[in-house]
Homo-oligomer: A and B are copies of this chain.
């Protein structure tokens, strides 16, 4: 089955022409023109689709999948106020594309697409069920059950970033308290990290923490930790430990024991994976202890478009 998958991000649109589960035929990446309103973005999409349709030649493209941040009505194919897109209220994106291209169009949110991409092409291959976590400014999540995205009642499921690990914990942007995002979302994480680095004159990051704190990123923490900086390593370890707290609750609730982590902070690799696994194992019900597993996502920024391409097939098993 040949489909087009599109990942619409605030800065760029990434698209792929693929034979689902078999091969990637071609890819495109262009500016998303997110500041110019929905009309401009849709023009970008039409251009990318036209180009990939050309590339497909005589092969029939059987559908288009689109992943995007924001509140998405999956059944109606409408995207509501995506973050970082100007003048975008409610746009019936699926019908706008299907009317022009005369193929089925499926939408889903970006975190679900990323998890589905890993399921078909990445670290989730061979797994019936897993929970994907994308660690960025926010913490996105996608729950894969029997090879398909679990959507919940209205399509909003998977918000593992807003599973709380402490009902008295720090306030989260969402209005809740102690959400895992309020610990490991990049902004929160760096805010907690700075005072520790400022107070540790032996840390290689100490000077920048004092003089140019805004320049520090999770990647700096990882590099410093790999060079033996114990403060930086401790911050990453604590991040993993807290992720493990959330993972244990999720495993107990869902009886899903494999977690895939991707996104910026996951670049720390074992510096986060091992503490996360230890923490989750020490907390989870005994019946899950041996099967608990944390894997690094494999597809990076390609996961979204690849998962979007697979939307047309998910739900009918593999």
Contact = CB atoms under 8 A, between A and B. Distances in A.
Interface in A127-150: 128-129, 141, 143, 150
B286 A175 contact: yes
Nearest to A166: B166
Contacts of A157: 253-256
The quantity of this chain's copies bound in the complex is 2
Contacts of A175: 282-283, 285-286
**Residue of A152, A256, A284 with most chain B CB atoms under a 10 A cut-off:** A152
A250 B249 CA distance: 9
Contacts of A71: 287
A47 to B, nearest CB: 32
Contacts of A128: 153
Nearest to A130: B153
Nearest to A175: B286
B249 A156 contact: no
Interface string A254-287: 1111000000000000000000000000111111
Given A165-B164, A285-B162, A152 B254 contact: yes
Interface size on A, as a range, is 35 or more
Contacts of A257: 153
A245 interface: yes
Contacts of A155: 255
B162 A255 contact: no
Given A129-B153, A167-B242, A162 B286 contact: no
A288 B176 contact: no
A189 interface: no
Given A152-B255, A157-B254, A255-B151, A283 B166 contact: no
Interface of A: 71, 128-129, 141, 143, 150-160, 162-168, 174-178, 242, 245, 248-250, 252-257, 282-288
27 contacts: A71-B287, A143-B253, A153-B256, A155-B255, A156-B285, A157-B255, A157-B256, A160-B253, A162-B249, A162-B285, A163-B249, A163-B252, A164-B165, A164-B249, A165-B166, A165-B167, A166-B168, A166-B178, A167-B242, A167-B245, A174-B286, A175-B282, A175-B285, A176-B283, A176-B284, A176-B285, A253-B254
